[in-house]
Amino acid sequence: MAYKIVASQCTVCGACEFECPNAAISLKNEMYVIDPKKCTECESHFDAPQCAAVCPVANTCVPA
Amino acid sequence: MGNLISLEALKAPVSSEEMKKAMDSGGCSSGSCGSSEGKDELPQEIWDKVKNHPCYSEEAHHYFARMHVAVAPACNIQCHYCNRKYDCSNESRPGVVSEKLTPDQALRKVLAVASEVPQMSVLGIAGPGDSCYDWRKTKATFDLVAAQIPDIKLCLSTNGLALPEHVDEIQHMNIDHVTMTINMVDPEIGAKIYPWVFYKNKRWTGLEAAKILHDRQMMGLEMLAERKILVKVNSVMIPGVNDQHLVEVNKVVKQKGAFLHNIMPLISDPAHGTHYGLTGQRGPRAMELKALQDKLSEGTKLMRHCRQCRADAVGLLGEDRGQEFTMNHVPDDVSYNPEKREAYIEVVARERGEHVAAKQAVEEKMAGFGAVESVLVAIATKGGGRINQHFGHAKEFQVYEATPKGIQFIGHRKVEEYCQGGWGEDATLDGVISALEGVDVVLCSKIGDCPKDSLKAAGIRATDDFAHEWIEAGIAAWLSAELGHTPAIGIETAVQASA
């Protein structure tokens, strides 16, 4: 499983990219995208997925 | 001479030679009036740091402009008054930008603006998110700019949560102004303002979140004060939530070493999509804000001229020239031309000397006026400390209060321009009249009979008799005329007598 970013709602602030422990998030065509192959939902690292925890817009960084 | 300072005059090609010529012709012989410029209340070393910063010095804000670059979009907290998805080029409030910039783009923009807008003295990073949380971008931008324009003041604004980790670097980079937004010192109240904070890899909510934020803010404030970095505290006044509480906040931040306290009205509108906007939490009225500010005369020194500008604002007073400098207008290869800025700084030093002298003369005059209780005067000005704007062109009025203590700037009122292409709109005038709640008289450089009569009917006098005077001198002259040069008569009696 992985998380995904709802492009139409994303403000492109970059906080998720900064917090991701797996470098799974990157900027593609001026929008942030989560690579499902690299995303571990932060299982081995933290109690909760970091990207979703820091995202400023509700329901924008969600389970894929 | 006064017209040389307004942004208007400088848009027309005024070369640095012309500026120098105007300055050399007569008047003050010394290049910079040293001690006469020093604000009587401040120690010299602090005055030197703030005298050219338009946000930290009310006097400076007539002459200098600030520029914000929106390089820090990531934020680590959520405030009920913020919605950063909302971006509109017509809207002006903190957190809003037209375009985010990379540090390299920011450098080009700063070089372009510094060459074109000689009044620019400060570069601030205020957002659109949090400058300390998005530290890499903040630091990269400041490093690039400081290398090219070493005399620009660097300023940053933050919610304080991530601040303690960067205080040493801040000091090392010679950033000597930091603004922190502190809306509460009581976590119970904080819980009503901050739905969550992101700290130590976890999202915290409720009382816990507010407590963490409060502790970190106090720690950051103490660390900055220890290092003699000037801290301005911004507080958003939210009626019913923290309005009474801000009195306590003011006391606490003073005790911890804050230099200035800026109490700003909440901006709340459902169209912005903020939580407060959508739930109908209102902002304070102008007189409510004034009442709170008046209560705080014993605490931390107050800032009253905050423009609550966008995170990409460029300009003087309430003016925002940001749209002229969007990235598509900035050439790829920008070189910085310091000529205009250097000339402007010399011109300002002289003008300020005159303005300060005029103010002192006014203070002496006022002492002879006797019983003047409290008169609120709204001024239409383009800048430079003079009454130099047409009533119809004003997008805001600067409000001064005349009391037995003297004449003091107390705030500004934003309005829609009354004059639309040659004639005025009645509905707009109604808006202007309600924005001028509590004001006794409007001084401007020109006003038509129609708005003048409408204002009079609403109990507000207006005159253009003092066009182009220094602001304080114009106010004193108006008062003097109203009082009929008889100091014993109170202002109300004089007004009734001449009505």
Please write the tens of the pLDDT for every residue from A9-35.
999 999 999 999 999 999 998 899 999
Q: B51 in a domain, yes or no?
A: no
In this structure, are B216 and B100 located in the same domain? yes
Percent of chain A's residues with pLDDT above 70: 100
Q: Provide the pLDDT confidence category of residue B151 given band limits of 50, 70 and 90.
A: confident
Q: Provide the pLDDT confidence category of residue B21 given band limits of 50, 70 and 90.
A: low
**Average confidence (pLDDT) over B293-317:** 75
Please write the tens of the pLDDT for every residue from B269-291.
888 888 999 999 999 999 999 99
Q: B489 in a domain, yes or no?
A: yes
Residue in chain A nearest B201 by alpha carbon: A50
| Structure confidence at residue B498 (pLDDT) | 46
Q: Which residues of B touch A (CB under 8 A)?
A: 73-76, 78, 84-85, 100, 128-129, 133-134, 198, 201-203
Nearest CA to CA, how far is A37 from chain B (Å)?
Answer: 22
Q: B11 in a domain, yes or no?
A: no
| Structure confidence at residue B205 (pLDDT) | 97
**Average confidence (pLDDT) over A2-10:** 93
Residue in chain A nearest B204 by alpha carbon: A53
In this structure, are B450 and B309 located in the same domain? no
| Structure confidence at residue B480 (pLDDT) | 85
Nearest CA to CA, how far is A14 from chain B (Å)?
Answer: 6
Give the C-alpha separation, B2 to B11, whole Å.
15
In A, which residues are within 8 Å of B133 by CB distance?
15
- Is the pLDDT assigned to residue B17 strictly greater than 50? yes
Please write the tens of the pLDDT for every residue from B221-230.
999 999 999 9
Burial class for B141, CB neighbours closer than 10 Å (0-12, 13-18, 19+): buried
Q: B68 in a domain, yes or no?
A: yes
In this structure, are B290 and B437 located in the same domain? no
In this structure, are B252 and B383 located in the same domain? no
Residue in chain B nearest A20 by alpha carbon: B201
Q: Which pair of structure tokens corresponds to residue B446?
A: 């020109």
- Is the pLDDT assigned to residue B322 strictly greater than 80? no
For chain B, the average pLDDT equals: 81
- Domain with B386, as residue range(s), is 368-498
Quote the strand ranges of B355-453, DSSP E: 375-379, 396-403, 406-414, 419-420, 423-424, 441-443
Give the C-alpha separation, B74 to B87, whole Å.
15
Q: Provide the pLDDT confidence category of residue B19 given band limits of 50, 70 and 90.
A: low
Q: Which of B75, B129, B202 sits opposite A53 (nearest CB)?
A: B202
Please write the tens of the pLDDT for every residue from B440-496.
999 999 999 989 999 999 999 999 999 999 999 999 899 888 877 534 333 444 444
**Average confidence (pLDDT) over B34-43:** 46
Q: B50 in a domain, yes or no?
A: no
In this structure, are B395 and B292 located in the same domain? no
End of a domain among B307, B329, B351?
B329
| Structure confidence at residue B425 (pLDDT) | 72
Give the C-alpha separation, B322 to A22, whole Å.
38
Q: B35 in a domain, yes or no?
A: no
Nearest CA to CA, how far is B333 from chain A (Å)?
Answer: 23
Look up the CATH number of the domain holding residue B394: 3.30.420.130
Q: Provide the pLDDT confidence category of residue B97 given band limits of 50, 70 and 90.
A: low
Residue in chain A nearest B72 by alpha carbon: A13
Look up the CATH number of the domain holding residue B315: 3.20.20.70
Give the C-alpha separation, B175 to B178, whole Å.
7
| Structure confidence at residue B74 (pLDDT) | 93
Sign of CA pseudo-dihedral B31, B338, B51, B228: negative
In this structure, are B267 and B397 located in the same domain? no
| Structure confidence at residue B18 (pLDDT) | 57
Q: Which of B74, B85, B100 sits opposite A15 (nearest CB)?
A: B74
- Is the pLDDT assigned to residue B252 strictly greater than 80? yes
Contact A18 B74 (CB under 8 A): yes
Nearest CA to CA, how far is A48 from chain B (Å)?
Answer: 7
In this structure, are B315 and B384 located in the same domain? no
In this structure, are B256 and B397 located in the same domain? no
- Is the pLDDT assigned to residue B358 strictly greater than 90? no
Provide the ipTM: 0.95
Q: Which residue has the higher pLDDT, B297 or B82?
A: B82
Q: B340 in a domain, yes or no?
A: no
- Is the pLDDT assigned to residue B94 strictly greater than 70? no
Q: B339 in a domain, yes or no?
A: no
Give the C-alpha separation, A38 to B399, whole Å.
58
| Structure confidence at residue B188 (pLDDT) | 97
Residues linked to residue B420 through DSSP beta bridges, in sequence order: B423
Residues linked to residue B402 through DSSP beta bridges, in sequence order: B375, B407
Q: Which residue has the higher pLDDT, B481 or B141?
A: B141
What are the strands of the beta sheet with B406-414, ordered from one edge?
B406-414, B396-403, B375-379, B441-443, B461-463
Q: What letter would DSSP give residue A26?
A: E
Q: Which of B84, B100, B134 sits opposite A56 (nearest CB)?
A: B84
Contact B202 A54 (CB under 8 A): no
| Structure confidence at residue B39 (pLDDT) | 52
Cα B457 from chain centre? 31
Q: Are B100 and B71 spatial neighbours (Cβ–Cβ below 8 Å)?
A: yes
In A, which residues are within 8 Å of B129 by CB distance?
13, 15, 56
- Is the pLDDT assigned to residue B330 strictly greater than 60? yes
Contact B201 A46 (CB under 8 A): yes
In A, which residues are within 8 Å of B78 by CB distance?
56
| Structure confidence at residue B444 (pLDDT) | 96
Q: Provide the pLDDT confidence category of residue B353 given band limits of 50, 70 and 90.
A: confident
Contact B201 A18 (CB under 8 A): no
> Under CATH, which number does the domain A3-63 receive?
3.30.70.20
Q: Which residue has the higher pLDDT, B244 or B383?
A: B244
Nearest CA to CA, how far is A22 from chain B (Å)?
Answer: 14
End of a domain among B275, B304, B329?
B329
* Total domain count, chain B: 2
In this structure, are B325 and B373 located in the same domain? no
Segment (H or E) for B144 = helix B135-148
3 state DSSP class of A37: coil
In this structure, are B309 and B395 located in the same domain? no
Q: What is the pTM of this model?
A: 0.79
C-alpha Rg value of chain B to the nearest Å: 23
In B, which residues are within 8 Å of A15 by CB distance?
74-76, 129, 133-134, 198
End of a domain among B281, B303, B329?
B329
- Is the pLDDT assigned to residue B377 strictly greater than 60? yes
**Average confidence (pLDDT) over B130-148:** 94
Q: Which residue has the higher pLDDT, B384 or B259?
A: B259
Q: Which pair of structure tokens corresponds to residue B357?
A: 């002298």
